[in-house]
Amino acid sequence: MIEPTFIWLGVGLFGQALFSLRFLVQWFQSERARRSVIPVPFWYFSIAGGMTLLAYAIHREDPVFIIGQASGLFIYLRNLYFIYRHRGEGVDAEGA
């Protein structure tokens, strides 16, 4: 049987991997566009990684980590809200 400690370590590492993938997505899209862009999948990876890391932080009962991840999630969700709201108005994700 796998120890709960190892399961939570896996959750934390998985969350960090998701969170790190957002930078790869951003890098590849920027290289493709030949300018700095933040594609929508960046925010989805931020949310997935942030939620997973928040669960890990809650398990660890680390208030600093909890506050950091919870506030980050609010920002990521708010950015997606702005992106989709502006798309309905005919404005692209970067506001141009």
Domain that holds residue 23: 4-31+40-88
Q: Is residue 71 part of a domain?
A: yes
17 alpha carbon, distance to own chain's centre: 10
Query: What is the pLDDT confidence band of residue 87, given thresholds at 50, 70 and 90?
Result: confident
Q: How many CB atoms sit inside 10 A of residue 52's CB?
A: 20
∠ CA 4-53-69, nearest 5°, is 140
* Length in residues, the chain: 96
Query: What is the pLDDT confidence band of residue 89, given thresholds at 50, 70 and 90?
Result: confident
Q: Is residue 93 part of a domain?
A: no
Dump pLDDT digits (tens) for 20-70: 999 999 999 999 999 999 999 999 999 999 999 999 999 999 999 999 999
Q: Is residue 18 part of a domain?
A: yes
Query: What is the pLDDT confidence band of residue 95, given thresholds at 50, 70 and 90?
Result: very low
Buried/exposed code over 53-70 (b: 16+ C-beta within 10 A; e: otherwise): bbebbeeeeeeebbeebe
Q: Quick check: 14 pLDDT over 90?
A: yes
According to the model, what pLDDT value does residue 93 have? 52
Domain count, the chain: 1
**pTM (2 d.p.):** 0.84
Q: Is residue 94 part of a domain?
A: no
Q: Is residue 11 part of a domain?
A: yes
